[in-house]
Amino acid sequence: MVNQKERILIVDDEPATRKLITRILSEEGYQCEEADSAVQVLDRLRSNKTELVILDIRMPGKSGIELLPEIKAGHPDTAVIMVTAVVEIPSAVQCMKLGAEDYICKPFKVDELALTVESALHKRKLQIKANRKQQCPEDAIPPMTKDKVLACLNSIETPLELKNAITIYAGKPVLGIRIAQGVLTERENLG
């Protein structure tokens, strides 16, 4: 099921192509915006949160390949799918190295476009989730004071209770075992 709040920016210098992609994706439930130049893309990205950019490689002025690093640098959580009328393997490889989630060739089938968009948005969500886990490492949990450790230890009878109590204290079930091990070590040190 498509989230009605997912915004897609379609970037192509050909109005007919932009309109076609917009129509297809709007029918799939996405909110679509259009841009025909690098300047418009950067303006729209600054003014609206955009989950996905569908970016034509060949455009007058700044090409999609030149624009891609700017998009990824300024909006790292925005996924990008590159579009081109000419199949060029070196260009596709370069786009992927620069951070594009996928690459699609014109003319494309409606279901191919829809699946590519769905896949890119799914990868984006997974990447954001992974980034959040990296930004909030286990070490970010403030250490327990000696008094809190002793109070906790005095109320616990079994190792399972220790693990469960600490998990609830830390607020993150994944961290329960590791924190419990640390508390057991602390218990040994306190004697």
Name residues whose C-beta falls within 8 Å of residue 30's C-beta, 6 or more positions apart in sequence.
2, 6, 7, 8, 117
pLDDT at 173: 46
Whole-number percent of the chain with pLDDT over 70 = 68
The yes-or-no verdict on residue 12 having pLDDT over 90 is yes
* Residue spans per domain, the chain: 7-135, 138-190
Quick: pLDDT tens for 133-169: 777 555 555 555 666 666 666 666 655 555 555 444 4
pLDDT for the residue 145: 60
Q: What is the pLDDT of residues 106-137, one digit of tens each?
A: 888 999 999 999 999 999 999 888 888 777 55
Determine the Cα–Cα distance for residues 43 and 40; give it in Å rounded to an integer.
Answer: 5
Confidence of residue 41 (pLDDT cuts 50, 70, 90): very high
Q: Residue 190 above 70 pLDDT?
A: no
Strand order of the β-sheet with 79-84 is 31-35, 7-11, 52-56, 79-84, 102-105
Instruction: Calculate the average pLDDT of the chain.
Output: 80
pLDDT at 35: 94
Question: What integer pLDDT is reported at residue 1 of this predicted model?
Answer: 47
pLDDT at position 155: 65
CATH architecture of the domain 7-135 equals 3-Layer(aba) Sandwich (3.40)
How many C-beta atoms lie closer than 10 Å to residue 120's C-beta? 22
Residue 175: pLDDT band with limits 50, 70, 90? very low
Q: Which of 118, 127, 112 is nearest to 72 (CA)?
A: 127
